[in-house]
Amino acid sequence: MTVQTKIRPSSVFIVSGGAKGITAKCTVELAQQYPCKFILLGRSEILTKEPDFAEDCFEEATLKKRIMESLISQGEKPTPMKVQKIYNQIASSREIRQTLSAIQQAGGEAEYVSVDVTDALAVHQKIAAAVEKMGEVTGIIHGAGNLADKLIEKKTEQDFEKVYAAKVKGLENILSCINPNNLEHFVLYSSVTGFYGNIGQSDYALANEILNKSAHLFKSKYPNCHVVAINWGAWDSGMVTPQLKKEFAKRGIDIIPIEAGTKMLVNELHPAYHDTTQLVIGSPTIPPAVSIKPELHSYRIRRQLTLADNPFLLDHVIAGNPVLPATCAVSWISDTCEKLYPGYKAFSCTDFRVLKGITFNETLAKEYFLDLQETSKNSENYEVNFQGKISSKTPDGKTIYHFSANVKLLRDIPPAPTYERLNLTTDNIITTTGKDFYQTGNTALFHGSSFQQIKRVINISSEKITTECFWEEISRQKQGQFPAYWVNGFTTDLSTHGLWIWLCHFHQEICLPGQLTTYEQFAKTPSNTSFYVSCEVKNKTTTGVTADFFIHDENGKLYSRLLDAKGIIFPAKLMQPKS
């Protein structure tokens, strides 16, 4: 049975990097909520007495001027480096004192220990002395860290050691000083860089991912301890300049406000989250768009597909066999194109064709090939165009083509237009709702929970059907090899279900996708909230149906649109498992 531990007045936390910066602000917030004891570790020294010239001087420019005057009066040359070093010592000492004072004002008790966490001997000696004074350590918050951002080919061993040592060796040294059986709280300050990666931070990403894995390992050994590795994003601190904020905004990266972030730390230490061992707070560090070079390249990507690796396929079974949805083939092609050009998104997919679908039975190939050919580039408009084909080979070497499409990547997606023929007036012609549309009869939609659901048919006519849809996001494990990124194969499939209902209602027929002239995406279709699909039927024959789909919010603002989508009409009995 897991014991959910609470922070008590007698609790003693070691906080590395906890006297300055963001970690210090989090520690102060923690003390305000849980007044207890803190041993703060940091490399900086506290000045026993500030120079006389610094007394009552807090404005940076004025203080630096006084430092220069002091150096000149001592016969020294006031170089920028000397001035900055003295200023940093004074400012650092002041910030540490402010942290200690804030903790004490909150009712807590704090002891500052000046030590380099990478120095094992010094860490042992100084923590032992602090523990003798403060009491047995019951919690660790490891926030120490260094940066040395460079492209990997420019990094030196010293760069790597500087970054790695503070995170990993520092943690090892701290853990070696305490009895792990006494730990009740163990917090590791990791980073979204360790979770998503980031250009120029290979060493930082590696070190932080080691912290993530360490959290899981420690939790497995000491399940009663409240362990959490917090993968922080960028904080709204002095390190994030106005220029950097603009760049983050352009790349869709959110900044963590200090007040909100510190409260998040306190919240994560509540006993209710005792079993959450890792979480991400912040946006992915989306890389800036790569530059476009004029040469046209071709690529071949190999992939093995199995039913076990793609559990969602059990919710897309046709005639008794799991079948890859055409929309997942679209996401397969477009996602791969995006990975070749970080910072770009798939804006359109044109001339998509289902040539021979992929069925997960005895016909499943050992290996599938995605061949991508760059057909054109425009460096001024930041545009790259691909032709993509998915194929496999039979045992005798014959090539079988399964899907083909053209994909356009853009760095800047155009603003979303508004669907002008929006009509969300309910007509109550079809009263079926929610899951009752699915798997309730021969003509019901065959899709399982991964692709549901149409919440209701808002209105229907001989030319159009409007539906309200809701996709409850499935787990990443269930999404398998076709994760819902920018192009979401699950919501796109769901968006087409209205045409099936229209065919059943007016013609007692059903259809499967065959071809798509144009797919354009302006924003990611939301999950876990309603969106709307206006399906306009353009043509109906005995063997096929053509329609336009407009996926939008309640005000008609488009997420995406599928134009000239062609469905192949099937007798309902062919959709049932063979007897």
What are 411-459's pLDDT values in tens digits?
A: 989 999 999 999 999 999 999 999 999 988 877 899 999 999 999 999 9
Are the beta carbons of 285 and 193 closer than 8 angstroms?
A: yes
For every residue of 103-142, DSSP letters joined together read HHHTT-EEEEEE--TT-HHHHHHHHHHHHHHH----EEEE
Distance in angstroms (rounded) separating the CA atoms of residues 163 and 205: 10
pLDDT tier for residue 264 given thresholds of 50, 70 and 90: very high
pLDDT at 139: 97
Question: CB count, 10 Å around CB of 529?
Answer: 10
Q: Which residue from 172, 165, 108 is spatially nearest to 140, judged by alpha carbons?
A: 172
Start and end residues for every CATH 3.10.129.10 domain found in the chain? 298-410
Question: CB count, 10 Å around CB of 198?
Answer: 18
pLDDT above 70 as % of the chain: 95
Q: Check pLDDT > 60 for residue 208.
A: yes
Q: Check pLDDT > 90 for residue 250.
A: no
Phi-psi region of 437 (alpha: psi -120 to 50; beta: other; left: phi over 0): alpha
pLDDT at 579: 45
Q: Per residue, what are the HEC states of 199-236?
A: CCCHHHHHHHHHHHHHHHHHHHHCCCCEEEEEEECCEC
298-410 carries CATH number 3.40.50.1820: no
Are the beta carbons of 527 and 476 closer than 8 angstroms?
A: no
Q: What is the mean pLDDT of residues 461-476?
A: 96
pLDDT at 149: 87
Q: Check pLDDT > 80 for residue 271.
A: yes
> What is 434-575's CATH topology?
Thiol Ester Dehydrase; Chain A (3.10.129)
Are the beta carbons of 287 and 343 closer than 8 angstroms?
A: yes
Q: Check pLDDT > 90 for residue 124.
A: yes
pLDDT at 282: 82
Task: Give the alpha-carbon dihedral of 235, 241, 247, 248, to 10 degrees.
Answer: 10
What are 35-93's pLDDT values in tens digits?
A: 999 999 999 999 989 999 998 899 999 999 999 999 999 999 999 999 999 999 999 99
Q: What is the mean pLDDT of residues 176-185?
A: 96
Distance in angstroms (rounded) separating the CA atoms of residues 116 and 144: 10
Q: Check pLDDT > 50 for residue 303.
A: yes
pLDDT at 252: 65
At the top level of CATH, which class does the domain 12-45+95-281 belong to? alpha beta
Q: What is the mean pLDDT of residues 286-311?
A: 89
Q: Return mean pLDDT, the chain.
A: 92
Are the beta carbons of 526 and 547 closer than 8 angstroms?
A: no
Start and end residues for every CATH 3.40.50.720 domain found in the chain? 12-45+95-281
Q: Check pLDDT > 90 for residue 570.
A: no
pLDDT tier for residue 2 given thresholds of 50, 70 and 90: low
Q: Please report, for residues 4, 355, 396, 404, the alpha-carbon distance to residue 400 in angstroms, rounded to integers and kept in the order given.
A: 57, 9, 11, 12
pLDDT tier for residue 513 given thresholds of 50, 70 and 90: confident
More confident: 574 or 151: 151
Indicate the residue type of 16: S
What are 333-373's pLDDT values in tens digits?
A: 999 999 999 889 999 999 999 999 999 999 999 999 999 99
What are 553-565's pLDDT values in tens digits?
A: 999 999 999 999 9
DSSP structural state of residue 418:
B
Are the beta carbons of 166 and 122 closer than 8 angstroms?
A: no
Q: Check pLDDT > 80 for residue 519.
A: yes
Start and end residues for every CATH 3.10.129.120 domain found in the chain? 434-575
Q: Check pLDDT > 50 for residue 374.
A: yes
What tokens were used for 188? 């590791």
